[in-house]
Chain A
Amino acid sequence: MMITALVCGILFALGAAFAAIRLVKGPTQIDRAVALDVMLAIVVGVIVLLAAVSGSGITLVIAVVVSLLGFIGSAGLAKLLPRDRQ
């Protein structure tokens, strides 16, 4: 299980790094919102991996909260970004 955790951790870290590059580079604000959405999904994945490795199910409550917050964040950004501004 430790090897699995290591491999999964490396995959998540690479995915988050690529999304972070897009977060910095993204020409429009919507690109940044999408990159944040991807990063929050990766955070949910990491918490689920932690629950798998440690064997306790109580850390999954954090995953519920983070996925709800991710949705609210990206929907709020999409609604509140002003028209025609980059």
Chain B
Amino acid sequence: MTTVDIIASVALILGAFMSLLAGIAVLRFPDTMSRIHAATKPQVLGIILLMLGVGLRIGSPGVIGMLVLIVILQFVTAPVSAHLTVRVAFRNAKGDDERAVEQPAHSAADDGPVQMAQALVDENTDNPGGSANDGR
């Protein structure tokens, strides 16, 4: 076994260990949203480590291109599917769980240079009435 083979083996074992961690987390965590959180985070790191192991073992450029393709696909699809799943879980948890609260709507127009300038003017001139916008 050459050194490259040993590094590839370590990478493969670590990648498989990440999948085991995801499985244990999905089984043992108490809440749906915690399970989603802990099941999608190790997924991408495990895939990267596994690809590292395979890429070190088979060095041909065609294979490495396909590995890069798989990693890019996982980067693109894992956050999207996690976001969609968490939205449904949040909707289910909103009634029962006291930690799931709707945050107040904050649009892009609420932080801008105009609001910052207004907040500076207010605090320098001691404006008692406050500005028309809530300086959030």
Footprint of B on A, CB under 8 Å?
A: 1, 4, 7-8, 11-12, 14-19, 21-22, 28, 30-31, 33-35, 37-38, 41-42, 44-45, 48-49, 51-52, 55-57, 60-61, 63-64, 67-68, 70-71, 74-75, 77-79, 81, 83-84, 86
A-B Cβ contacts below 8 A, count: 158
Show 29 A/B contacts (Cβ-Cβ < 8 Å), sorted by A.
A1-B1, A4-B9, A7-B16, A11-B19, A15-B20, A15-B23, A16-B23, A18-B20, A18-B24, A19-B23, A30-B92, A33-B85, A37-B39, A37-B43, A41-B19, A41-B43, A45-B15, A45-B19, A56-B58, A57-B63, A63-B70, A64-B70, A71-B81, A74-B85, A75-B81, A78-B81, A78-B85, A81-B88, A86-B92
Residues of B within 8 A of A38 (CB): 19, 22-23, 26, 39, 43
What does DSSP make chain B's interface, helix, strand, loop or mixed?
A: helix
Inter-chain contact B27/A4, CB cutoff 8 Å: no
Which of A4, A15, A45, A61 contacts B66 (CB under 8 A)? A61
- Indicate whether A4 sits within 8 Å of B92 (C-beta atoms), given known contacts A18-B23, A41-B46: no
* Separation of A41 and B12 alpha carbons in the complex (Å): 14
- Indicate whether A28 sits within 8 Å of B74 (C-beta atoms), given known contacts A8-B13, A34-B26: no
Q: For A63, give the chain B residue with the smallest CB separation.
A: B70
Which of A17, A21, A34, A52 contacts B36 (CB under 8 A)? A34
* Separation of A77 and B12 alpha carbons in the complex (Å): 31
Inter-chain contact B92/A28, CB cutoff 8 Å: yes
Residues of A within 8 A of B118 (CB): none
- Indicate whether A42 sits within 8 Å of B77 (C-beta atoms), given known contacts A22-B27, A49-B50, A52-B8: no
Q: How large is the interface on B (under 10, 10 to 19, 20 to 34, 35 or more residues)?
A: 35 or more
What does DSSP make chain A's interface, helix, strand, loop or mixed?
A: helix
